[in-house]
Structure 1
């Protein structure tokens, strides 16, 4: 007789084994006996219908944690529906609609014999209610906290994207894990489009659905035949696989195409659309630096489930990434203002594609010469010598000789940073939508967007403030080109402006409004998830901002990406030529986009700089304080205390005074950028360095030369 210890050891060994599932045929029998369709089971297990089919015909097996959930479900069904037991009583049909999960074939690596749908085999499926079964598969990492789930589109039950690891697990949003059998890039594309249930609905009724995004970890890239690292001597954005690489050949052999950018960190693989159905998959390779550390801090080093969480929140609140945050920012503009809409042809009665009012249209538009860059064809071809717009963000330091003894004896220099200043400037910003027209000696109209040649050199302002008319804050020296907002501000300050000439646009609109609204909501909602909400007092706000990055690093990365999307999107409106082979006067790819609009970029930056100067001016009136330095959306003030509460203007009621800098979590309001000793700031100013650039501290001063 075996001893008790031996028996217990044997039993413990069984308990430690991997969960065992019944044979594939029994799995199908149990599901049919329960009256559940394969599509419904796929939703419960957070996988695809095809994967459930594979479980039931023996082609694949589930992996943890889905394995344990599936086993638990089958055990429950086995207890209710034994092989020779009586059939369960029929129940009332369900009223809830079933999710529209795509019914597709397997990936090329695993061809499957066609089989009829289980619904047809099992009449009981029509008699039983739809009910939750088992336990939904979860990520191996902690679930998202604070993020609000978006409504699930039945066409895309598994969300906008997935992160694929080297074991064939594709991690999606909300802890979903899909089994991906693909062994090659073409197989991955087929699986994504036919089986994964990935994608996202269009953001505007006249727009297009977002293509699914698959993010490859280093292990997944190697498994699919890609190099772990992409090396080369060109700029990082230009790196791509050579055309004779085996993976590129595989893609072509499978009748798929790559965009002109080729197979780089962000690769788009597509076939021409058939009817209204798009066939396109976006790939991002993490180990090829697809996610820039400056925009997505720490994300590349995260576990796949956490990468999926970060990108999933961004996709839900902003847009499914299609490249850098700058590219995504530009794509969001088009997604929120699609260039075309369906219109009825009066002659034939048919629906055709027509212009969508308020958009930039489908054709690129050349700028006026002063709005272009010096290498642009309209400049080189015309021999333009009349100067250019210089609407850029502030980089200004007060002359150290203008510091007073009283200011120098204050103990602190405190930096304030305006939240997404460019985004705040985009709100209700009227821009030109049509081509520019040339005018001589026009009467200035602040409501017309355009570029004006005006002499503002006669305007004398306090030298302790930067000039609102130049990026370096210096006084203009003669006639120069300015965007409408800059000239309007000169008029607001009480000066008579008399333009010499102008390039103006007759058709106008608030093109960026929906872009602003979506990004503002994304920014505010993400900050709120990090514990920084609108209802905090100023002191509570400062305390919450000190801790928000540690509260949840994943959501902090989303916040960083949102801010980078704003700045990058505005910057992309005037993308310069890339590559050492470019010759001045040639067109470059960005010029073929309707969104290459340097005049709109100038309008955003002009308004942001004017907004900054208006606050600086109001601060003088309310507090008598002058700034030490300004860098884009950051301003440094001398302060008697070690936080902004020591010098910001408040009414007797304790409420912030309107017009100056105010603390808060919304775009255009301020947060603390950094605190340093006043002597530190004076020392930098004497060296000709900008304290606003270094107020955060660290080693930046040692690395930065100006």
Structure 2
């Protein structure tokens, strides 16, 4: 505290600073900062979500305050004090004392000392030890990648060289690590000061689970520890034997890149063996350990710790953002039933017409950015209690559950996929559909449900916080690349400029940022497209609702585009749309001047719901590929997606 009784950010976490200000119920400062509040926050490396979590308000409240709306109450006054101290952090007052030599464990010393008075020594002075870390001579990490101090100790990367092992932290620090073999790994969390990660949410309901710290092994560390280069094929038994010997939970199960090492009276340690992850997947090893540590640290800050494969992280994040959802113990009444609520096109494709082949067209690929997060709006509801069975229920778009209804009468153009089935073919009669699918059908068809498994109280929009987390993570990375994240069409850049920004990002952006964009996209997509073992009962409802709403959004855009341009897609997956066009120019499909009266059509952009060009191919090559694809093959959509993948659009 200063001598005026004001709190200071000196070596404290954001939450601690705010708590101190609220507890003392300080009056608001007499003057408001001269610099724009958003510039102060971003200059300090914080997200609006992090301010909201610390102040226990919503991110929307923070955005309103930054727009000039004045608040009231202790949260508003704490916000004003926070801005003042962040604004003046580079101009300490002359009468302030120096920072103590030993900051709390797991919290790095700030680059610039903040104003702080002399404080009395604690009753029990902290134990001192030789410094383990070496500060980089010239930090290459931009200021926006600086991690919140409360999360700095949740992830680390271990590499090896001739001189021994080295640990790398996300903030650029590195130091020697006393490791002699795999048996030392379970104890590294305590030795290095790695701390568990706890999700900070605005909700006070449900359990707040702690996630163990994550230690990632590079290829060099994996080899130096005597671990095999892969965990598959002939190396599988060796990998399992070594990990089981050092305390892997679930001994006897199939071994993978992620393992949990447990210790008595400890949350344990999550081990991520980077060479064992597929090279084409997200969260893979980058060229240098420093970049890998930065990438994993930023993923922890923006999303959550990479303590499991991306798909499971995506499901886990839904519960972490809304603990009351994770506390739900109801079971899916359709477990064991053959194919309930089959909806959302997984792969639909058509053969090129003779006219398209004669015109020597090319295939132009458009990739949708975070389509499932974009679908998680306030209208997407999940059951908040065990669903109950109803006969002949009246359809209510605000009621979570599944409906037995006949949608075969939905108006359909055979040149477009039918939006309510997995293969894009029209349904033949009644089937079970989630609420989002029936709501879209009800816009063009009178629906009469026959049965329903429905939530008694209608359900709740649990997934909004999940969407906001992924959206804010995406925007935070894009802001560093210079790509516009403006979502309003009247304020968004012209299509030509947006395309130039996207192409420049792919060529010149920091590889860490491109890897982060890929990791965010894979986390979102695999959470919905790939069910994981042991997932909670509500996950099936979440998956079906998001698939159905994303399919409805995509079908609406396909329909509007076809009416405006007379173009029809060649193939459609949840993330990819292929068109035939005279040239690779994406503006054959996205022409703002022709679609200006169709605001729900495709638009270029890297925000959730926008589309980005994902490459092109010869039409003849597509026809050859189509002959090999089977729409009923679960791997077919992934194969098609892999052919049109560029950095930052996975």
| Fold conserved between structures, TM > 0.5 | yes
Residues in 2 aligned to 1:194 and 1:406: alpha-carbon distance in whole angstroms? 65
Residues in 1 aligned to 2:498 and 2:386: alpha-carbon distance in whole angstroms? 45
Question: What does 1:320-469 correspond to in 2, within 5 Å?
Answer: 320-338=305-323, 356=324, 359-361=325-327, 363=329, 365-369=330-334, 372=335, 376=336, 379=337, 388-398=340-350, 403=353, 405=355, 409=359, 411-428=361-378, 429-469=380-420
- Equivalenced residues, count: 515
Change over 3 Å in CA distance of 1:183–1:695 after alignment to 2: closer
Residues in 2 aligned to 1:687 and 1:240: alpha-carbon distance in whole angstroms? 35
Change over 3 Å in CA distance of 1:281–1:459 after alignment to 2: closer
User: Secondary structure of 1:432's partner?
Assistant: coil
Deviation, 1:503, is 0.9
Residues in 2 aligned to 1:693 and 1:196: alpha-carbon distance in whole angstroms? 40
User: Secondary structure of 2:262's partner?
Assistant: strand
Query: After superposition, what is the alpha-carbon deviation per residue over 1:602-631, rounded to whole angstroms, capped at 9, x for unaligned?
Result: 111011111111111112333333222212
Question: What does 1:38-437 correspond to in 2, within 5 Å?
Answer: 94=97, 100-102=103-105, 137-138=135-136, 143-145=140-142, 147-153=144-150, 158=153, 160-166=155-161, 167-185=164-182, 187-204=184-201, 207-224=208-225, 226-231=226-231, 233=233, 240-242=239-241, 245=242, 248-249=244-245, 251=247, 258-259=249-250, 264-273=256-265, 278-287=266-275, 289=276, 291-296=277-282, 299-300=284-285, 302-338=287-323, 356=324, 359-361=325-327, 363=329, 365-369=330-334, 372=335, 376=336, 379=337, 388-398=340-350, 403=353, 405=355, 409=359, 411-428=361-378, 429-437=380-388
Match of 2:609 in 1: 668
Residues in 1 aligned to 2:220 and 2:356: alpha-carbon distance in whole angstroms? 61
Question: What does 1:562-601 correspond to in 2, within 5 Å?
Answer: 562-571=520-529, 574-575=531-532, 590=534, 593-594=535-536, 597-601=539-543
Question: What TM-score do the two structures reach when normalised by structure 2?
Answer: 0.69
Residues in 2 aligned to 1:693 and 1:267: alpha-carbon distance in whole angstroms? 26
Query: After superposition, what is the alpha-carbon deviation per residue over 1:478-518, rounded to whole angstroms, capped at 9, x for unaligned?
Result: 1111111111111101x111111111112411122111111
User: Secondary structure of 2:557's partner?
Assistant: helix
Work out which of the residue numbers 525, 545, 553 in structure 1 matches 2:502. 545
Work out which of the residue numbers 565, 569, 576 in structure 2 matches 1:627. 569
Change over 3 Å in CA distance of 1:193–1:621 after alignment to 2: same
Residues in 1 aligned to 2:482 and 2:317: alpha-carbon distance in whole angstroms? 27
Change over 3 Å in CA distance of 1:565–1:695 after alignment to 2: closer
Change over 3 Å in CA distance of 1:300–1:548 after alignment to 2: same
Change over 3 Å in CA distance of 1:693–1:563 after alignment to 2: closer
Deviation, 1:668, is 0.7
User: Secondary structure of 1:509's partner?
Assistant: coil
Deviation, 1:136, is 6.2
Residues in 1 aligned to 2:365 and 2:425: alpha-carbon distance in whole angstroms? 22
8 A Cα contact 1:193 1:281, kept in partner: no
Deviation, 1:651, is 4.2
8 A Cα contact 1:629 1:692, kept in partner: no
User: Secondary structure of 2:345's partner?
Assistant: coil
Deviation, 1:568, is 1.7
Residues in 2 aligned to 1:436 and 1:182: alpha-carbon distance in whole angstroms? 52
Residues in 2 aligned to 1:215 and 1:523: alpha-carbon distance in whole angstroms? 23
Change over 3 Å in CA distance of 1:181–1:616 after alignment to 2: same
Structure 2 residue ranges without an equivalent (≥5): 1-10, 12-93, 107-120, 486-491, 646-650
Structure 1 residue ranges without an equivalent (≥5): 1-39, 41-90, 104-118, 126-132, 252-256, 339-355, 380-384, 577-589, 701-706
8 A Cα contact 2:228 2:238, kept in partner: no
Greater Cα radius of gyration, structure 1 or 2: 1
Change over 3 Å in CA distance of 1:217–1:367 after alignment to 2: same
Deviation, 1:171, is 0.6
Work out which of the residue numbers 576, 579, 587 in structure 2 matches 1:645. 587
Residues in 1 aligned to 2:483 and 2:232: alpha-carbon distance in whole angstroms? 43
The reply to whether residue 556 of structure 1 matches residue 553 of structure 2 is no
Change over 3 Å in CA distance of 1:235–1:566 after alignment to 2: farther
Higher mean C-alpha deviation, range 448-457 or range 542-551: 542-551
The reply to whether residue 608 of structure 1 matches residue 550 of structure 2 is yes
Deviation, 1:457, is 2.2
Change over 3 Å in CA distance of 1:239–1:362 after alignment to 2: farther
Question: What does 1:496-575 correspond to in 2, within 5 Å?
Answer: 496-507=446-457, 508-534=459-485, 536-551=493-508, 552-571=510-529, 574-575=531-532
Deviation, 1:466, is 1.6
Change over 3 Å in CA distance of 1:271–1:697 after alignment to 2: closer
User: Secondary structure of 1:165's partner?
Assistant: strand
Deviation, 1:309, is 1.6
Residues in 1 aligned to 2:641 and 2:420: alpha-carbon distance in whole angstroms? 27
Change over 3 Å in CA distance of 1:539–1:366 after alignment to 2: same
Change over 3 Å in CA distance of 1:315–1:266 after alignment to 2: same
Deviation, 1:271, is 3.5
Change over 3 Å in CA distance of 1:190–1:94 after alignment to 2: farther
Change over 3 Å in CA distance of 1:174–1:650 after alignment to 2: same
8 A Cα contact 1:453 1:501, kept in partner: yes
Deviation, 1:172, is 0.7
Residues in 2 aligned to 1:259 and 1:392: alpha-carbon distance in whole angstroms? 34
8 A Cα contact 1:444 1:498, kept in partner: yes
Residues in 2 aligned to 1:182 and 1:191: alpha-carbon distance in whole angstroms? 8
